[in-house]
Structure 1
């Protein structure tokens, strides 16, 4: 490898940092380090302040700029692979899926930002195989690293197929931990005009209450909503439906809700709190261009006064 390259081993410890580390002696990497290296290149748009020195006595000297760490973590959060656990962005919860998915995420990230990727085996052996799709990834090292994170409660490892018993069990475990965290956050900082919690002892079945927004024809109404979490939550969206009848172009007689974040725009970075706030916004500002009930959408567009009177009548009849 030439001196212009600056290999950096990426570490995600769950503490809100991406740290360069590595012992270079073939031992398992501690605290969740991944067997890949990111290094600066002329095409880089990130301004990585990486430093590299040839190995001395079997050790590597590496550094990674604060800006690069922030950009990498921001990418994780935007992809739904991580979420901040505190307002100061000092503690980060990493959401794991399949090993190969994670490896490819790193690969795509560095490619998109003008960087390149190498495996630990490449660094140790000096063999350049960057043309391959992470073919040299050391699965054993990665699994040992992930197991350490799992033991510390910072990650959950499970297989991608729900038909697999072990994979399904791990999915359920991860979903349960995530749901419990969301419940705790809701109790600590509940969204305006909303409340939610489990029905009995079933953490995967919640009931929510939404107060009709004061600047809408639903004002004064109390609307009940059911929430069902799938076993692979948060990688799949919850099923949310109204139990209380209401007159709305995006909510049908079965209580189904036409809301993009509950369908194709769902992200694991979203929470039930954000979903409830989005539903409140939908009550204030319906979307007649993507209706679930075309007749009500037509009334909303052509006779707003009639729409509001009807919605107000339904609110008084069913939600008060």
Structure 2
């Protein structure tokens, strides 16, 4: 995915997180920086989109995936993990919200250089200081070696770590997705939190036009979906890589955990998934 500016999907995801703070009262995911870090025009657009009831499902999922990552991080820190790697960070505010900085938890933010430059500009505009525990790691996931880039930034590959990889897998090629997952699997005592989308053919026929329309919109924005994953195939692949514990939450699981079984997303079937996979079983006990 070659970018000529900051990621449009990163801005869109930040808009959903920001809108959740106002439209839903931050009932699932509380982020005091979400509305500060976004550009005023983008924030106004996100709030306007939130007035459409049809946007609620995706907004709540965006909030739930950030909450899921926070829950996984909290559990990992309780088991003495002190390194967090946020892959494709965009305008994620985990480093700003980091409640574990006093015990030495360091956050490595990995992203495209242009997106990181945009984020630095947004932090400055919002008069938010990047904490000392934040380390910037510019990387092109398609061409750069992640391990080398992290090591250069001071990351300790011999120590436990949790990786957070949200909103990225659909926009990378399949080899790039699996290469990164395999690298994490080769690390000692490592866990990774990520989300993925299922192939359109996994959806019932009546839902496929809406999913196809969404695919067309992101493609028109210059960031097409390249990799969609089948849950059964993915689990087998992760197990083959050496992941010893895998938690895969489908739409119904996410709804039941974070916003109640009566919500529309509690229906079964295809949809976006949240995954926590680990090479150390105790790192996935949340």
State the TM bucket, normalised to the shorter chain: under 0.3
User: What TM-score, normalized by structure 1, do the two folds share?
Assistant: 0.23
Specify which structure has the bigger relative contact order, considering alpha-carbon pairs within 8 angstroms and separated by 6 or more residues: 2
More helix by share: 2
Which one has a larger percent strand, Structure 1 or Structure 2? 1
Larger of the two Rg values belongs to structure: 1
Normalising by structure 2, report the TM-score. 0.25
